[in-house]
């Protein structure tokens, strides 16, 4: 086999990079596109603590089609979800798996802080 290597979706990859499949090939059921879970759950970071200005919040979820690259995903996470990504990447596998489900379950009652309480 030669040619460009296509990244293969694994559950582990999804966990380690905080991404989730959004489309699959109908015949092979191979994952064709993925989306950023931080964007899905929290939106892009709208506030830059180093600046007094509020950035306009964007609700657009970042997705990547076939041929996604880990380094590109990491750059997106760093730029858009700096603090969360930093925190997330330091969690163990169980922590990463729980990260989003915990936030969702407690959304509304514990708008922030719940993750801090559980993992820090
Ligand atoms: Zn994102």
* Total of domains in the chain: 1
Q: For residue 118, name the pLDDT band (cuts at 50, 70, 90).
A: very low
Within a domain: 85: yes
Within a domain: 4: no
| Mean pLDDT value across residues 1-13 | 75
Cα(115) to centroid of ligand 1, in Å?
Answer: 18
Cα(81) to centroid of ligand 1, in Å?
Answer: 6
Full residue range of the structural domain in which residue 110 is found? 11-119
Cα(80) to centroid of ligand 1, in Å?
Answer: 6
CB of 47 closer than 8 Å to CB of 55: yes
Cα(83) to centroid of ligand 1, in Å?
Answer: 12
Cα dist. 2→17, 47, 59, 67, 105 in Å?
A: 26, 45, 39, 15, 45
Cα(84) to centroid of ligand 1, in Å?
Answer: 10
Query: What is the tens place of the pLDDT at every residue in 32-56?
Result: 999 999 999 888 765 555 555 555 5
Q: Is residue 62 over pLDDT 90?
A: yes
Cα(44) to centroid of ligand 1, in Å?
Answer: 6
Strand locations in 4-115, DSSP E?
A: 19-24, 31-36, 63-64
């Amino acid at each position: 086999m030669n040619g460009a290597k296509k990244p293969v979706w694994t559950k582990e990859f999804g966990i380690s990079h905080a991404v989730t499949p959004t489309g699959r090939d109908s015949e092979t059921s191979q994952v064709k596109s993925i989306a950023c879970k931080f964007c899905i759950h929290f939106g892009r970071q709208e506030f830059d603590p180093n600046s007094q200005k509020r950035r306009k919040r964007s609700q657009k979820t970042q997705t990547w089609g076939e041929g996604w690259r880990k380094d590109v995903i990491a750059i997106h996470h760093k730029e858009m979800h700096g603090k969360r990504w930093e925190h997330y990447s330091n969690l163990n596998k169980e922590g990463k798996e729980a990260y989003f489900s915990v936030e969702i379950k407690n959304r509304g009652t514990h708008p922030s802080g719940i993750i801090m309480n559980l993992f820090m």
